[in-house]
Amino acid sequence: MADRSKLTDADIADRLAGVPEWSRAGESITRTYDAASFLEGIAFVQKVAEIAEAKDHHPDIDIRYNRITLTLSTHDQGGLTGWDFDVAESVDAL
């Protein structure tokens, strides 16, 4: 399991290089995915939910028809940890 320690700004910049479609938004990282249709977007969200459950780390999910925005932060650490990037990498591998 990924480290749950809060990352430094330098660590965050390094980790963002590994998930180039994600961007930092304060103490979170976020990415928007475009699905071909509403139902394909919902199927994608189901796969994200399975990853989140397996890793016990759950993103905020915003669904707008076929656009899905995920936001990750480790709230109990007050910012970003390796856990957030671990989930982002797993979602990107879908």
- pTM value > 0.85: yes
Say how far apart CA 53 and CA 47 lie, in whole Å.
10
* Position 77 confidence tier, pLDDT thresholds 50, 70, 90: confident
Q: Which amino acid is at 90?
A: S
Over residues 8-59, the pLDDT tens digits come to 999 999 999 999 999 999 999 999 999 999 999 999 999 999 999 999 999 9
- Angle at Cα 58 formed by Cα 32 and Cα 18, nearest 5°? 55
User: Residue 72: what pLDDT?
Assistant: 97
Say how far apart CA 43 and CA 39 lie, in whole Å.
6
Domains and CATH numbers, the chain: 9-92 (3.30.1360.20)
User: Residue 42: what pLDDT?
Assistant: 98
